[in-house]
């Protein structure tokens, strides 16, 4: 937002940033190289996996090694702390709201009756409260502040003419805690994401807590450039949280006012 001194002088902060980026690149490329080596060794040994069991990396390698490597590194850089922070936020919300945790456990017990019950595709379609808990924790502890896009055509936004090529930042962060969009915004209420059951007259009563404008809540962005990892994240969070809640009672007995903060 300010004139960028770092373009002309290598400031200590720039050096620190570059060092961190180099570190992230080294770690991710080491993992990707290791996976490529393993796949190449398996190919030499004649191991053939059906398409459905091949990894994204394995499929991309057949098209272009460089693209495959960069994609796999991107996925590690974009996918590790994002998922773990979101996972932690969901657990924190459940720990702080034991009555909601109990409702969730009741739902999970139905799909995982035994301690070691297997997840099935069908069972995971039947967990609306789990999905609602995850969404509600993403509202309370949002990972991203919003999205950005370069306009590809001249547009009118809120009455302003904005020319093509302009970078537009959409930052709905404060709306996520506004009463206007989320009644009882300070409370962890997964119920706001649940469609009300149909009553005996076949009517579905309105859920007063429900969000009216879906674009206010886009934790994974929207459109062709939305998060490519969303489905992986959904699966990781749903399976991980269901398993934990099934087998453990989650508590967190420490202060949580600044549970997440951006380091200075």
Question: Would you tell me which residues interact with ligand HEM (CB under 6 A)?
Answer: 74-75, 78-79, 82-83, 86, 143-144, 147, 219-222, 225-229, 232-233
Burial 22-49 (b: 16+ CB within 10 A, else e): eeeeeebeeebeebbeebeeeeeeeeee
C-alpha distances (whole Å) from 162 to each of 36, 155, 170, 214, 216 are 46, 5, 14, 24, 21
User: Of 5 and 213, which CB lies nearer to ligand HEM in the complex structure?
Assistant: 213
User: Of 63 and 122, which CB lies nearer to ligand HEM in the complex structure?
Assistant: 63
User: Of 28 and 101, which CB lies nearer to ligand HEM in the complex structure?
Assistant: 28
User: Of 173 and 226, which CB lies nearer to ligand HEM in the complex structure?
Assistant: 226
- Closest contact distance (angstroms) between CB of 156 and ligand HEM is 21
- Closest contact distance (angstroms) between CB of 204 and ligand HEM is 29
User: Of 79 and 240, which CB lies nearer to ligand HEM in the complex structure?
Assistant: 79
- Closest contact distance (angstroms) between CB of 202 and ligand HEM is 37
User: Of 183 and 219, which CB lies nearer to ligand HEM in the complex structure?
Assistant: 219
Specify whether the CB–CB gap between 235 and 103 falls below 8 A: no
Which residue shows structure tokens 């459940």?
A: 94
- Closest contact distance (angstroms) between CB of 224 and ligand HEM is 7
- Closest contact distance (angstroms) between CB of 140 and ligand HEM is 13
- Closest contact distance (angstroms) between CB of 219 and ligand HEM is 5
- Closest contact distance (angstroms) between CB of 179 and ligand HEM is 24
User: Of 3 and 223, which CB lies nearer to ligand HEM in the complex structure?
Assistant: 223
Q: Which residue is nearest to ligand HEM (CB)?
A: 221
Q: How far apart are CA 181 and CA 30, in angstroms?
A: 45
């Amino acid at each position: 937002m300010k004139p960028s001194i770092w373009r002309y002088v290598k400031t200590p902060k720039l050096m620190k940033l570059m060092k961190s980026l180099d570190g992230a690149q080294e770690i991710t490329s080491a993992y990707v190289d290791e996976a490529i080596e393993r796949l190449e060794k398996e190919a030499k040994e004649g191991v053939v996996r059906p398409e459905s069991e091949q990894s994204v990396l394995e499929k991309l390698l057949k098209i272009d090694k460089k693209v495959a490597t960069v994609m796999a590194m991107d996925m590690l850089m974009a996918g590790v702390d994002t998922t773990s922070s979101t996972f932690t936020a969901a657990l924190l919300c459940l720990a702080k709201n034991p009555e909601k945790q109990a409702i969730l456990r009741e739902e999970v017990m139905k799909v995982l009756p035994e301690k070691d019950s297997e997840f099935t595709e069908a069972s995971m379609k039947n967990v609306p409260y789990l999905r609602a808990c995850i969404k509600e924790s993403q509202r309370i502890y949002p990972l991203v502040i919003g999205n950005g896009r370069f306009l590809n055509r001249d547009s009118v936004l809120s009455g302003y003419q904005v020319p093509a090529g302009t970078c537009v930042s959409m930052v709905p962060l404060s709306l996520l805690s506004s009463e206007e969009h989320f009644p009882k915004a300070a409370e962890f209420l997964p119920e706001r994401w649940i469609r009300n059951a149909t009553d005996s007259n076949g009517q579905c009563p309105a859920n007063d807590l429900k969000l009216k404008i879906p674009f206010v809540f886009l934790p994974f962005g929207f459109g062709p450039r939305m998060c490519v990892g969303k489905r992986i994240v959904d699966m990781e969070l749903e399976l991980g949280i269901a398993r934990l809640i099934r087998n453990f009672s989650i508590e967190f007995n420490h202060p949580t006012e600044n549970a997440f903060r951006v380091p200075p």
